[in-house]
Structure 1
Amino acid sequence: MSTTANPADGTEISYDAVGEGPAVVLLHGSALSKAIWRGLGYVKALEGFRVVRIDLRGHGRSGTPAAPEAYRMALHTGDVLAVLDAERIGRAHLVGYSLGARVAFSLAAGAPARAASLTALGGTYRPQRGEVAKVFFPGYLGALRSGGMHAFVEGLEASGKAVDPATRQAFLANDAGALAACFTGTEEDPGLPEAVLAQLALPALLMAGTRDPQRLEDSRRAAEIMPDARFVELPGRTHAGTLAPAGPILEVLVPFLRGVSDSPGAGRPAAAG
């Protein structure tokens, strides 16, 4: 495990980097951590790449600022850039799930020279106000603030959402106050206008489950707007079930990354100075 700090506010970001080859950055979803990628088999499948897994701020072993303002999208993207700089990676393939996909969209728009490609899994470019409650359950924020992570998980289960043991463990490992601040801050993010989306000329792979209607619609729309994007449905998958089983995703993702990994500068050291 390695750490670096976002120069904008000093928040410490935990990450690890393994392997050799073009760089692939894996960005997890809300209430998860970088561990999810190894547990589900994504790291092993990406042999031949330099795989960088990041704990987003407020998650895992990264810093847990308490104010919602600390979770503005510019700070999330700054965290990823700080990791790339620490690893001397000039450009990387961005692979994000849910919140991680929103970070990837924003980084590709704000720092296009650092993004070799974009893969969004259950992701969107749109504002998220009100969407978190749909993904989790109404009253999720109050549960976090009053009862912590146990109340959050109990609320999920009471709402009929299945929580597998690995996800339960990941959820319970969170700092409830930081997670509440993260949800509040990211819900206020304005997203990307479609005019900006139309300028994202990098290769993109957009995947969403057929039982995840909002992300399905958003991913299809983004693929229509972006100049070099491909949309792939994941039959029968909900938002929470986007990443597993990993096999059908990896059957598309790995060839996509290999096909675009010869982009000039992908995974190469950043220029000094």
Structure 2
Amino acid sequence: MRQAVNPHDGVRLAWEEHGNRAGEPLLLVHGSALSKAVWRGMGYVKALGVDYRIITMDLRGHGRSDKPGQATDYEMERVLLDVQAVLDAAELPAAHYFGYSFGARIGFSLGVSAPERMLSFVSAAGTYRIFAGSIAELFFPDYDTALAAEGMRGFVAGWEARIGHPVDPVTRMAFMSNDPVALRAYFAQTEAGEGISEQDLADFSVPTLLLAGTLDTRRLADSRRAVELMPDARLLELPGRDHGDTLFPPAEVLAAVEPFLAAHN
């Protein structure tokens, strides 16, 4: 495991390198309450590492990165500096960017603020907008109470009750590694932040592939709107998939992502 440091606030960020060291660089960025380990656990590192130099990172508040406890520590401006600090530590002026959920939201913001750092952008279950109640919609209404009272065990139990089946082992392991205090702060800022505007989308210069499950209705609607506005974007709708299973199983996703990346090498 390697470390990068955010130059603004000194937060340390865990990252790793995998795959073909001579290949084009590809940064994989996970979603809320997950970690860089999910990309390996779900098979993406192995599949994409044949052709690409894979960089995975733990977002602040997640995995083995630092876990500050104030909501303002998770402002998007700081997270964007985190991503660029990891690219700098890997000595990469730019990379392909593949983000899931909140990782995709970061990608939208990075494409507006620093498009020169992105060779292409894959958004999986992402949105350019922010809306109140999004965390409760994704997980369950009393998630904050569960985190405060019972920590990660209570959070996972509440989510499993909401979805009606056990969380897969890879996701469970990633969730259980979180610090509940940091995660509450992260969730609070996630809903308090701002998205990017439709004008920003119209000016978005990075080639983009949008992936959304047909059961992930809000992200699907946002992705449909985004592809109408963005000058170089296309959308793949994933039949029968909801937000939580957008990435797994990976075969259908990889069948779209691999040719997209190859076309923008």
Contact preservation (8 Å) 2:42, 2:170? no
CA distance in 1, matches of 2:121, 2:234: 10
**What is the correspondence of 1:58-207 to structure 2 with a 5 Å cutoff?**
58-162=61-165, 163-207=167-211
Deviation at 1:142, TM superposition (A): 1.4
**Aligned CA-pair RMSD:** 0.9
Extract unaligned runs of 5+ from structure 2.
none
Higher mean alpha-carbon deviation, 162-171 vs 93-102, is at: 162-171
Query: Match of 2:228?
Result: 224
Higher relative contact order (CA 8 A, sep 6+): 1
Residue deviations 1:153-174, cap 9 Å, x none?
A: 1111222343122211211111
Deviation at 1:45, TM superposition (A): 1.2
Query: Match of 2:8?
Result: 8
Q: TM-score normalised to the size of structure 2? A: 0.96
Residue deviations 1:55-85, cap 9 Å, x none?
A: 0000000000000000011111110100111
Contact preservation (8 Å) 1:206, 1:232? yes
Residue deviations 1:169-219, cap 9 Å, x none?
A: 211111111111111111111100100111112110000000000000011
User: Do residues 51 (structure 1) and 51 (structure 2) align?
Assistant: no
Q: Describe the shift of the 1:161–1:118 C-alpha distance in structure 2 as closer, same or farther (beyond 3 A).
A: farther
Give percent identity, aligned residues only. 49
Counterpart AA for 1:128? F
Counterpart AA for 1:122? A
Deviation at 1:229, TM superposition (A): 0.1
CA distance in 1, matches of 2:68, 2:157: 25
**What is the correspondence of 1:245-264 to structure 2 with a 5 Å cutoff?**
245-261=249-265
CA distance in 2, matches of 1:142, 1:198: 39
Query: Match of 1:30?
Result: 32
Q: TM-score normalised to the size of structure 1? A: 0.94
Deviation at 1:128, TM superposition (A): 3.5
